[in-house]
Amino acid sequence: MTTDVRLSVNGVRHRLAVDDDELLLTTLRRLGHTSVREGCGVGACGACTVLADGRSVSSCLARTVRYDAVPVTTADGLPDGDDVVEEFVAARAMQCGYCIPGFVMMSHELLAENPVPTREQIAAHLEGNICRCGTYQEICAAVAATSARRQERARGDERRPA
Protein backbone atom coordinates (compact mmCIF):
# COMPACT_ATOMS: atom_id res chain seq x y z
CA MET A 1 0.00 0.00 0.00
CA THR A 2 1.25 3.54 -0.72
CA THR A 3 0.60 6.83 1.01
CA ASP A 4 1.05 10.38 -0.23
CA VAL A 5 3.33 12.31 2.11
CA ARG A 6 4.48 15.90 2.32
CA LEU A 7 8.12 15.99 3.32
CA SER A 8 10.01 19.13 4.12
CA VAL A 9 13.67 18.24 3.79
CA ASN A 10 16.26 20.95 4.39
CA GLY A 11 13.55 23.54 3.79
CA VAL A 12 12.45 22.11 0.45
CA ARG A 13 8.95 20.71 0.26
CA HIS A 14 8.25 17.46 -1.52
CA ARG A 15 5.02 15.64 -2.18
CA LEU A 16 5.50 12.00 -3.04
CA ALA A 17 3.96 8.57 -2.78
CA VAL A 18 5.81 6.13 -0.57
CA ASP A 19 5.18 2.54 0.40
CA ASP A 20 3.79 2.40 3.91
CA ASP A 21 6.86 0.47 5.06
CA GLU A 22 9.43 2.61 3.20
CA LEU A 23 12.21 3.78 5.46
CA LEU A 24 13.03 7.47 5.79
CA LEU A 25 16.62 6.63 4.84
CA THR A 26 15.44 5.18 1.53
CA THR A 27 13.21 8.17 0.82
CA LEU A 28 15.96 10.68 1.62
CA ARG A 29 18.43 8.86 -0.61
CA ARG A 30 15.81 8.78 -3.37
CA LEU A 31 15.54 12.55 -3.01
CA GLY A 32 19.31 12.85 -3.47
CA HIS A 33 20.48 13.43 0.09
CA THR A 34 23.81 11.64 0.10
CA SER A 35 24.89 12.60 3.62
CA VAL A 36 22.36 10.13 5.02
CA ARG A 37 24.29 6.87 5.17
CA GLU A 38 23.34 3.31 5.95
CA GLY A 39 25.87 1.76 8.26
CA CYS A 40 24.34 -1.03 10.28
CA GLY A 41 20.69 -0.95 9.23
CA VAL A 42 19.54 -1.52 12.82
CA GLY A 43 19.89 1.93 14.39
CA ALA A 44 23.06 1.14 16.31
CA CYS A 45 25.75 3.12 14.47
CA GLY A 46 24.33 6.61 13.89
CA ALA A 47 25.45 6.99 10.26
CA CYS A 48 21.84 7.54 9.17
CA THR A 49 21.04 10.21 11.78
CA VAL A 50 18.90 13.14 10.70
CA LEU A 51 17.02 15.72 12.71
CA ALA A 52 13.23 15.62 12.57
CA ASP A 53 11.83 18.81 14.07
CA GLY A 54 15.18 19.21 15.82
CA ARG A 55 15.28 15.71 17.35
CA SER A 56 17.64 12.97 16.23
CA VAL A 57 16.16 10.08 14.30
CA SER A 58 17.78 6.89 13.05
CA SER A 59 16.42 7.11 9.53
CA CYS A 60 17.24 3.44 8.89
CA LEU A 61 14.49 2.50 11.38
CA ALA A 62 11.94 5.26 10.82
CA ARG A 63 9.02 4.84 8.44
CA THR A 64 8.66 7.81 6.09
CA VAL A 65 4.90 8.03 6.64
CA ARG A 66 5.52 9.00 10.29
CA TYR A 67 7.32 12.16 9.12
CA ASP A 68 4.55 13.55 6.95
CA ALA A 69 4.75 17.38 7.37
CA VAL A 70 7.62 17.11 9.90
CA PRO A 71 10.65 19.26 9.01
CA VAL A 72 13.66 17.00 8.41
CA THR A 73 17.24 18.25 8.31
CA THR A 74 20.16 16.31 6.90
CA ALA A 75 23.82 17.29 6.91
CA ASP A 76 23.33 18.18 3.23
CA GLY A 77 21.01 20.97 4.38
CA LEU A 78 23.45 22.70 6.70
CA PRO A 79 24.54 26.12 5.48
CA ASP A 80 28.00 26.89 4.17
CA GLY A 81 30.09 28.00 7.10
CA ASP A 82 28.18 25.84 9.58
CA ASP A 83 30.08 26.21 12.84
CA VAL A 84 29.87 22.53 13.82
CA VAL A 85 31.23 21.44 10.45
CA GLU A 86 33.99 24.05 10.60
CA GLU A 87 35.07 22.85 14.05
CA PHE A 88 35.02 19.20 12.92
CA VAL A 89 37.39 20.17 10.10
CA ALA A 90 39.61 22.25 12.39
CA ALA A 91 39.85 19.38 14.90
CA ARG A 92 40.54 16.85 12.13
CA ALA A 93 37.62 14.88 13.46
CA MET A 94 37.32 12.62 10.47
CA GLN A 95 39.30 10.15 8.45
CA CYS A 96 37.06 8.31 6.02
CA GLY A 97 34.13 10.66 6.77
CA TYR A 98 31.40 8.03 6.49
CA CYS A 99 30.06 8.52 10.02
CA ILE A 100 30.65 12.27 10.27
CA PRO A 101 27.27 13.54 8.99
CA GLY A 102 25.54 11.57 11.74
CA PHE A 103 27.94 12.91 14.37
CA VAL A 104 27.42 16.46 13.09
CA MET A 105 23.63 16.14 13.34
CA MET A 106 23.86 14.67 16.85
CA SER A 107 26.18 17.53 17.81
CA HIS A 108 23.64 20.07 16.57
CA GLU A 109 20.96 18.38 18.66
CA LEU A 110 23.17 18.35 21.76
CA LEU A 111 24.20 21.99 21.45
CA ALA A 112 20.57 23.06 20.94
CA GLU A 113 19.60 21.24 24.15
CA ASN A 114 22.73 22.02 26.14
CA PRO A 115 24.80 24.94 24.81
CA VAL A 116 27.65 24.34 27.29
CA PRO A 117 28.07 20.58 27.65
CA THR A 118 30.86 18.96 29.64
CA ARG A 119 33.14 16.41 27.98
CA GLU A 120 31.17 13.69 29.76
CA GLN A 121 27.87 15.05 28.44
CA ILE A 122 29.28 15.24 24.92
CA ALA A 123 30.50 11.64 25.09
CA ALA A 124 27.19 10.45 26.55
CA HIS A 125 25.13 12.20 23.85
CA LEU A 126 27.27 10.80 21.05
CA GLU A 127 27.55 7.27 22.43
CA GLY A 128 25.04 5.92 19.91
CA ASN A 129 27.31 6.89 17.01
CA ILE A 130 30.18 4.68 15.92
CA CYS A 131 33.37 5.82 14.22
CA ARG A 132 35.39 2.89 12.89
CA CYS A 133 38.39 5.17 12.35
CA GLY A 134 38.42 6.00 16.06
CA THR A 135 38.38 9.80 15.98
CA TYR A 136 36.26 10.09 19.13
CA GLN A 137 38.65 12.44 20.92
CA GLU A 138 38.74 14.79 17.95
CA ILE A 139 34.96 14.66 17.58
CA CYS A 140 34.46 15.54 21.25
CA ALA A 141 37.02 18.34 20.90
CA ALA A 142 35.12 19.70 17.88
CA VAL A 143 31.84 19.79 19.81
CA ALA A 144 33.52 21.52 22.76
CA ALA A 145 35.15 24.04 20.39
CA THR A 146 31.78 24.78 18.77
CA SER A 147 30.28 25.41 22.20
CA ALA A 148 33.15 27.75 23.11
CA ARG A 149 32.86 29.53 19.76
CA ARG A 150 29.14 30.12 20.27
CA GLN A 151 29.70 31.38 23.83
CA GLU A 152 32.35 33.82 22.58
CA ARG A 153 30.04 35.03 19.81
CA ALA A 154 27.22 35.53 22.34
CA ARG A 155 29.53 37.54 24.62
CA GLY A 156 30.53 39.69 21.63
CA ASP A 157 26.88 40.26 20.74
CA GLU A 158 26.14 41.32 24.33
CA ARG A 159 28.90 43.96 24.19
CA ARG A 160 27.61 45.60 21.00
CA PRO A 161 25.44 48.67 21.50
CA ALA A 162 21.84 48.22 20.46
Burial class of residue 4, CB neighbours in 10 A (0-12, 13-18, 19+): exposed
pTM of the model: 0.93
Residue type for 138, please?
A: E
Amino acid 15: pLDDT: 97
Contact present, 98 and 47 (Cβ < 8 Å): yes
**What CA–CA distance (Å, rounded) separates 7 from 62?**
14
pLDDT of residue 162: 63
pLDDT of the residue at 157: 77
Long-range contact list for 38-43, CB < 8 A, 24+ apart?
39/98, 39/99, 39/102, 39/130, 40/130
- With contact defined as beta carbons under 8 Å apart, do 54 and 112 qualify? yes
Q: Which residues contact 108 (CB under 8 A, 6 or more apart)?
A: 51, 73, 78, 84
DSSP three-state, residue 16: strand
Domains of the chain, CATH where assigned: 2-77 (3.10.20.30), 83-159 (1.10.150.120)
Integer angstrom CA distances of residue 43 from 3, 39, 70, 128: 24, 9, 20, 9
Largest pairwise CA distance in the chain:
59
pLDDT of residue 156: 84
pLDDT tens for the chain, 162 residues: list them. 999 999 999 999 999 999 999 999 999 999 999 999 999 999 999 999 999 999 999 999 999 999 999 999 999 999 999 999 999 999 999 889 999 999 999 999 999 999 999 999 999 999 999 999 999 999 999 999 999 999 999 988 777 666
